[in-house]
Amino acid sequence: MTATVPVVIPKNGTGKSPKRRRRNRGGPAGGGGRDAWLLVLPALIPVVLFSVYPLLQGIFLGFTDARAGLNLPVNVNGIDNYVKLSGNTLFWSSFGIGLIWAFSVTILQFLASLGLALLLNLDLRMRWLARTLALVPWAMPPVIIAIMWRLMLNPTYGPINQSLRAVGLPSDINWLGNASIALPVVIVVGVWAGMPQTTITLLAGLQNVPTELHEAAAIDGASTWRRFWHVTLPALRPIIVAITTLDLIWNFNSFALVYVLTAGGPGGTTMLPMLFAYNEAFRYGDFGYAAAMGNVMVIVIAFFLFFYLRGQMRSRNS
């Protein structure tokens, strides 16, 4: 469900929120806290039981030899899984593919979306059409996006090869079946699928940039490029940080799109870590080992996020 989650846009001026701390209007004094708990409890209990608890259990399973199957004993085996993982070259190559995928998609997505958002923010004709088109992939199920692109990239009947044939270029390219190009192709599909959310978020941010700043800079003779660099980009910064952070996490953890596009093939060249761990757990039944992979993924993504966000904090402060 991650891929379609809407983005919560952070705002610089949160200080605007009125400091209303009146608690229990209409109720007896001091009862507000208890009322709140009663209202929240029906939401809280299922979330704790079926998402917080499984998550903690999942982290724990990463340190056990749990396997699929009825009533098999589960033993804690400490760091055995991680020792085994460190020697698993297939896993590390999948990990590398995952990082290439996540970073390429996030960066390309950001650049393409920023360009589109800037265009949509201008007073151009047909803007509504571009905006609508940019929204559609957001609503589409990832499985259908993958199916659509499989049809597009079909070596014989797909329109891409047909267009290449029409202009006399080599047209027998097996886009998803050729180990040397499958990953870049899948990355392009990933960009297509994730662009809407990033574009709309950036557009919302752009529309919040005060126009006075732009006008002032224009009167001072700043070129379009300089205005973009010195006015728009700094104002947009919190939103850029938020959306690229989320995009990176989502892309690193994404599953459905690539599962349907290539299932990790050809020859494992598009085997994202999530697919690898899924196979380990539900094809080979190695629950403990798969959970250990999940733990490694969390640590790696947390590592990148930590340095990215810390770097952003620092440059904002300086």
Partner 1 sequence: MTTITTGTTGTVGSLKRGRMIARPLQYLALVLYMIFLGFPLLFLLTTAFKSSRELQSPTAGFLPTSFDWDNFVQAIDKANLVTAAGNSLIVAVCTTVLVTVIALPAAYALARFRTKLRGIATGWILLSQVFPFILIIIPLFLVLKNIGLINNLAGLVLVYTVWSMPFALWMLQGYVAGIPVELEEAGAMDGAGRLRTLRTIVLPLLAPGLVATSLFTFISAWNEFFFALVLIQDPNLQTLPLALARFVGAEGQVQLGQLAAASLLATIPSLVFFLLIQKRLTSGLLSGAVKG
Q: Least CB distance from residue 293 to partner 1, whole Å?
A: 7
User: Residue 105 or 297: which CB sits closer to partner 1?
Assistant: 297
Cis peptide bond upstream of 266, omega within 30:
yes
User: Quick check: 75 and 64 in contact, CB under 8 A?
Assistant: yes
User: Residue 100 or 152: which CB sits closer to partner 1?
Assistant: 152
Nearest to 154 by CA among 172, 141, 167: 172
> Could you tell me if residue 120 is left (phi over 0), alpha (psi between -120 and 50 degrees) or otherwise beta?
alpha
What is the C-alpha separation between 275 and 22, in angstroms, rounded? 50
Q: Least CB distance from residue 196 to partner 1, whole Å?
A: 8
User: Residue 42 or 170: which CB sits closer to partner 1?
Assistant: 42
SS (HEC) of 286-297: CHHHHHHHHHHH
Q: Least CB distance from residue 49 to partner 1, whole Å?
A: 8
Q: Least CB distance from residue 179 to partner 1, whole Å?
A: 20
User: Residue 148 or 318: which CB sits closer to partner 1?
Assistant: 148
User: Residue 25 or 314: which CB sits closer to partner 1?
Assistant: 25
User: Residue 42 or 168: which CB sits closer to partner 1?
Assistant: 42
| 64: three-class secondary structure by DSSP | strand
Q: Least CB distance from residue 301 to partner 1, whole Å?
A: 6
Nearest to 24 by CA among 35, 16, 13: 35
User: Quick check: 191 and 1 in contact, CB under 8 A?
Assistant: no
> Could you tell me if residue 126 is left (phi over 0), alpha (psi between -120 and 50 degrees) or otherwise beta?
left
Q: Least CB distance from residue 318 to partner 1, whole Å?
A: 26
